[in-house]
Amino acid sequence: MEQKEKTIALVAGCSGGHIIPALTIANNDYSKYKKVFFAKNHQLDKDILAKATLEHTVFLSLINVPYKHILLIPKFLFQFGIAFITSFITLFKARPTKIISTGSYIALPVCLAGKMLQIPIELYELNVEPGLAIKLLSRIATKVHVCFASTQKLFHQVQCTQTNYPVRFRPADKVINKQPVYKKNQFDPARKTLFILGGSQGSQFLNGLIKQIIEINPVIKTEWQVIHQTGNDTSTDWNSFYSSLKIPAITFSYTNDIADYYALSDLIITRAGAGTLAEIAFFEKSCIVIPLTTATTHHQKLNASALAKAHPNLFHVLEQDNKMVMKISQQLS
């Protein structure tokens, strides 16, 4: 009797930091399974998943949890209900052996539907500090995987194991023939390469930062070339900006094909998303990390501290203050 092919359900959304590791887990650990992927009905999610090999993709509409906007609560609850029903029907038909989530509030209706259908739920917390969705879902999860020993201590009510961050690259990606890339992008082998990396959504702050650094440090114009992930920043024509300064540059809003850019880099300036830092550590690149510090992003500071402790020669963490620009400028001189 022919054995029926198994199915795995995955849920992640709102950023590459959630979606990319979920895809990596699926490809590495469940390569022979059929895959159903739940994500947010958002253009970034669609762009990232466009090249993925998936049997079925479900895009759910759900506004951010309206913590401070009471008038949006009815809309949130309505969309949550629709997302729950859609998830329940999809999971009932697909009958996956388990649901895997790497976080994001879009996982809430999917995992609740899975719980009602008695489907095992496995969570991956990739940051030092767990996000709210993972905290809530850990109460109904079968198992939680974490990347840091300190995080493991926070999950007492569920089976919890420590694992390595699911980096999407292979060791062979560290070695490239630089000459074709240099030639294609008119890069100079004599110059050092600076990579400005703002995460899957880009960083307006880092975009402004590079302008400030170039303004006070003329060495960049003669000794460096730039790879710049700008995000959806339309306030500046970045190709024209670098061209006017005669700085060889590659600019892009987002791409999955980023391994060559890591390999080319001599120095990376970045925020402190767990995925970005794990990939920088994988490629063993020197970097300047400037954690985003808001009420909802304290995890970035903890991520940066943990990686700096593990790789002191690679990670240089800077506070976002009025001395920061000068400190970075000095490192580039």
Q: Render pLDDT for 275-319 as a digit per residue (tens, 0 to 9).
A: 999 999 999 999 999 998 765 667 899 999 999 999 999 999 998
Q: Are residues 119 and 190 in the same domain?
A: no
Q: Are residues 82 and 186 in the same domain?
A: no
Q: Which of 140, 162, 184 is the last residue of a domain?
A: 162
Question: In terms of residue numbers, what domain contains 328?
Answer: 172-332
Q: Are residues 158 and 16 in the same domain?
A: yes
Q: Which of 162, 180, 200 is the last residue of a domain?
A: 162
In percent, the amount of the chain with pLDDT more than 90 equals: 73
Amino acid 295: pLDDT: 53
Amino acid 3: pLDDT: 55
pTM: 0.90
- The predicted model gives 203-210 an average pLDDT of 90
**Each residue of 213-261: pLDDT tens digit?**
999 998 999 999 999 999 888 888 999 999 999 999 999 988 888 999 9
Residue 120 counted as domain residue: yes
Q: Are residues 133 and 242 in the same domain?
A: no
**310 Cα distance to chain centroid:** 20
Q: Are residues 114 and 182 in the same domain?
A: no
**Each residue of 271-287: pLDDT tens digit?**
998 999 999 999 999 99
Q: Are residues 152 and 265 in the same domain?
A: no
- The predicted model gives 34-49 an average pLDDT of 93
Amino acid 297: pLDDT: 63
Residue 280 counted as domain residue: yes
Q: How confident is the model at residue 170 (pLDDT cuts 50, 70, 90)?
A: very high
Amino acid 296: pLDDT: 61
Amino acid 1: pLDDT: 43
Amino acid 299: pLDDT: 86
Q: Are residues 148 and 277 in the same domain?
A: no
Measure the CA–CA gap between 2 and 98, rounded to whole angstroms: 21
Residue 234 counted as domain residue: yes
Q: Are residues 44 and 133 in the same domain?
A: yes
- The predicted model gives 175-189 an average pLDDT of 88
Q: Are residues 154 and 264 in the same domain?
A: no
- The predicted model gives 40-52 an average pLDDT of 90
**Each residue of 65-124: pLDDT tens digit?**
887 788 899 999 999 999 999 999 999 999 999 999 999 999 999 999 999 999 999 999
Residue 266 counted as domain residue: yes
Q: How confident is the model at residue 202 (pLDDT cuts 50, 70, 90)?
A: confident
Q: Are residues 272 and 233 in the same domain?
A: yes
Instruction: Report whether pLDDT(180) > 60.
Output: yes
Residue 2 counted as domain residue: no
Q: Are residues 107 and 192 in the same domain?
A: no
CATH number for the domain spanning 13: value is: 3.40.50.2000
Residue 167 counted as domain residue: no
Count of domains forming the chain: 2
Q: Which of 141, 162, 183 is the last residue of a domain?
A: 162
Q: Which residue has the higher pLDDT, 51 or 116?
A: 116
As a whole number, the mean pLDDT across the chain is 91
Query: In terms of DSSP bridges, do strands 99-101 and 121-125 run parallel, antiparallel, or are they unpaired?
Result: parallel
Q: Are residues 60 and 143 in the same domain?
A: yes
Residue 71 counted as domain residue: yes
Amino acid 234: pLDDT: 80
